[in-house]
């Protein structure tokens, strides 16, 4: 147990975070499990006082991040795998997006994740090892109608992760983005807010998706238990992927999106090259 990896997972009360935490505990690894209300983690921590530390943590509150990282260091002395899982969805058309909801989305999904990562990096630098695993989404690569602001938050994490991977590699720190498609985590039913579509011009695009999203909650094809097992399988590996897309829908959609992007770059290659100063 003393030599087992130490995980730090945010958002463990439900969904991916909860399932991953359970499998980490079953594997025998050490775990810092966090949630906005640690009382919801009592069943995880019960009977595992030596290997599980349950903490209150709202990633939008810097003082709670600082306290949680200090407690993790005091308990285990290190953090090997950080899983930035905390976050939620917000759906609206772009035009009808509400400023307060957009900012609240970014505080959790973007700025909270950034702050959490910054707080853990000193430990990983000192260790000269670590793995940052960010739970993004297929929406981190594709902007679907009705979830533009959510997609933007996940695109931001993808760009952040690219830079972190480049900076961390010489220090032994790896970065992976997990990009799930639809999974049966009750994300759509519980961890998602909406601004209803009232502008008729969007009724057949974003409006259709907004109306249908909550109806499919609990029927998604992705299995959270299999997803958690896949994360555990790549955690800490030297060949861990930078991008790991989960589910048939996600794999197919991301492949189509990236292939289309390459085709577009090729189609406009000459026009793009022509914007440089002429070669001397």
Is residue 53 within 8 Å of 32, Cβ to Cβ?
yes
- Cα separation, 120 vs 122, whole angstroms: 6
Catalytic residue among 88, 90, 149, 150: 150
- Cα separation, 35 vs 12, whole angstroms: 6
What are the backbone angles phi and psi of residue 165, rounded to the nearest 5°? Answer: -60, -40
- Cα separation, 61 vs 71, whole angstroms: 16
Other Cβ atoms within 10 Å of 206 Cβ, number: 23
CA distances from 99 to 37, 106, 138, 275 (A): 27, 11, 24, 37
Q: Cα(first)–Cα(last) distance of the chain, in Å? A: 64
**With helix as H, strand as E and coil as C, how does 125-183 read?**
HHHCCEEEEEECCHHHCCCCCCEHHHHHHHHHHHHHHHHHHHHHHHHCEEEEEEEECCE
Active site residue 150: yes
Task: Name the residues annotated as catalytic.
Answer: 150
């Amino acid at each position: 147990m003393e030599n087992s990896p130490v995980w730090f997972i945010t958002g463990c009360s439900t969904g991916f975070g909860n399932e991953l935490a359970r499998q980490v505990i079953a594997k025998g690894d050490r775990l810092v499990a966090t949630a906005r209300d640690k009382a919801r983690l009592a069943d995880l921590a019960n009977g595992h006082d030596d290997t599980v530390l349950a903490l209150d943590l709202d990633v939008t509150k810097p003082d709670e991040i600082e306290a949680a990282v200090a407690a993790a260091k005091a308990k285990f002395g290190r953090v090997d795998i950080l899983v930035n899982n905390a976050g939620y969805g917000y759906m609206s058309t772009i035009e009808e997006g509400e400023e307060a909801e957009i900012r609240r989305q970014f505080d959790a999904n973007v700025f909270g994740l950034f702050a959490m990562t910054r707080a853990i990096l000193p430990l990983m630098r000192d260790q000269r090892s670590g793995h940052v695993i960010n739970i993004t989404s297929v929406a981190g690569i594709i902007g679907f109608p009705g979830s533009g602001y959510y997609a933007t938050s996940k695109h931001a994490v993808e760009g952040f992760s690219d830079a972190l991977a480049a900076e961390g590699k010489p220090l032994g720190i790896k970065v992976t983005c997990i990009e799930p498609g639809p999974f049966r985590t009750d994300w759509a039913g519980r961890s998602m807010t909406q601004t209803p579509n009232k502008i008729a011009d969007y009724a057949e695009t974003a409006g259709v998706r907004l109306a249908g999203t909550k109806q499919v909650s609990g029927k998604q094809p992705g299995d959270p238990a299999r997803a958690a097992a896949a994360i555990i399988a790549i955690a800490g590996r030297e060949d861990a992927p930078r991008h790991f897309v989960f589910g048939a829908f996600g794999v197919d959609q991301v492949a189509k999106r990236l292939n289309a992007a390459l085709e577009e770059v090729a189609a406009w290659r000459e026009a793009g090259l022509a914007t440089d100063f002429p070669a001397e």
